[in-house]
Amino acid sequence: MRYMMLVYSTEGPDGLTPEEDTRIRSGHRKVMEEATQKGVLVGAEPLAPTSTATTVRMQNGKALVIDGPFAETKEHLAGYYIIDCENLDDAIEWAAKIPTECQGSHGCIEIRPMRWQPSRNTPEKIVEKSSSLNA
C-alpha cells in the first residue's frame, strides 16, 4: 500500500545555518536513495516556505483567497514522501528515517495511507501466505 509521509517542521526564527542545511539535505538524500534502491519510492518533494502559500476558501459560492497558510500553527507542512510499503509498521520504519528539521526546528512525520491504492501483495503472494498459515 502506498503511504504518504507528510513532513511537518517548525520554522525557526533564524532559519538554518549552512551546516544544518547540508546535514538535513544529506539526510533526505540518503532516505530517497535507499527507498529508490529498494524500489519503493513513488515520489518526494519539498515545499516552498509558508510565506508563499495561498489558501482558497469557498464562501457563499465565491472563492475567498487568503495569502498564507490556512492554519496558524507552529508546525507547517514542509514536504512529502510517497512510499510503497508492506504495511503500517514498514511505513513507520521509513518515517523514522526522514529528517524533520527542514525549517529550522524539529517537527514530525504524519503517515497516511493513500486511498484506492493497490496492495503490494499480488494474488500469488496472498495465496502463498494463506497456504503457509494453513500448513
List, for residues 4-45, the tens digit of each pLDDT value: 999 988 776 677 888 988 998 999 999 999 999 999 999 999
Interatomic CA distance for residues 129 and 135, integer angstroms? 10
Q: Residue 123 to residues 27, 80, 119, 132: CA-CA distances in angstroms?
A: 36, 30, 10, 14
Say if residues 95 and 111 touch (Cβ distance below 8 Å).
Answer: yes
Domains detected in the chain: 2-134 (3.30.70.1060)
3-class secondary structure, 94: helix
More reliable by pLDDT, 45 or 135: 45
How many Cα atoms are found within 13 Å in the side-chain-facing hemisphere of 114? 19
Query: What is the pLDDT averaged over residues 55-72?
Result: 80
pLDDT for 35 equals 96
Contacts of 88 (CB under 8 A, 6+ apart): 3, 111, 113
Q: What is the percent of the chain where pLDDT is above 70?
A: 78
Scanning the structure block, which residue is given the C-alpha cell 510499503?
85
